[in-house]
Amino acid sequence: MLALQGDFREHVAVLRSLGADVITVRCPEEVATISGLVIPGGESSVMDKLARSFGVADALKERIAGGLPVYGTCAGLIMLADRIVDGIRGQQSFGGLDVAVRRNAFGAQTESFEADLDVPVLGEPPMHAVFIRAPVVAELGAKATALATLEDGTVVAVEQGDLIGTSFHPEMTADYRFHQYFLDKVAARSSSL
């Protein structure tokens, strides 16, 4: 669990409730020991600055490029995107997902909303999704696949191999199917190594 900033405590609780062995990651030595990573929601520009100053950004870029399974929610999706539209000056991401994301795509905090999403890989029922100053996938590159869209077609969940990103916050509802989907990827990859 990347624990530089944001709502990482909530994710840790969810992952532990699903039986995962979780550590918090703040330094390169910890990055070396993990078999999967969740990047929480928060503020991506701050997470980026902290990741670079704590020296974990390069270590994470290398692990992600090497196939580490990662699940990013909200600001975490921004950190996983290869391209950021409307980032603050000089804002960087770890990259990995062949997408461009637009930050704060729905406007200010007051424009936060909830929606029920069909997510075919998770089956029924639809996922109740909470969007808080959420980003969206503005461009889906050829290597990435959409997992869920809003009614107007806006992509809000995406997958590329063992990388998953969602614009919304499943750790804030009682529906942990995305976390389980991620843990299944971690288990499958660990057993294939």
Ligand X SMILES: NC(=O)CC[C@H](N)C(=O)O
Q: Show the site string, 133-172: x = touches ligand X by CB under 6 A, - = not.
A: x---------------------------------------
Residue from 11, 74, 159, 179 carrying the catalytic annotation: 74
Q: What is the closest distance, in whole angstroms, from the C-beta atom of residue 44 to ligand X in the complex?
A: 3
Choose which of 39, 56, 74, 97 interacts with ligand X (CB under 6 A). 74
Kindly write out the interface string for residues 23-62 of this chain, putting x where it contacts ligand X by CB under 6 A and - elsewhere: ------------------xxxx------------------
Query: H helices of 27-138, where?
Result: 28-31, 44-53, 56-65, 75-80
Output the CA–CA distances (angstroms, integers) from residue 12 to 62, 104, 110, 140, in the order listed.
23, 25, 27, 29
Site string for ligand X, 111-140 (x = CB under 6 A): ---------------------xx-------
**CA pair distance 141, 30, nearest whole angstrom:** 31
Give CA torsion, residues 180, 181, 182, 183, to 10 deg: 50
In single-letter form, the type of residue at position 97 comes to L
Cβ distance to ligand X smaller for residue 25 or 74: 74
Q: How far is CA 129 from the centre of its chain?
A: 14
The residues that are catalytic are 74, 169, 171
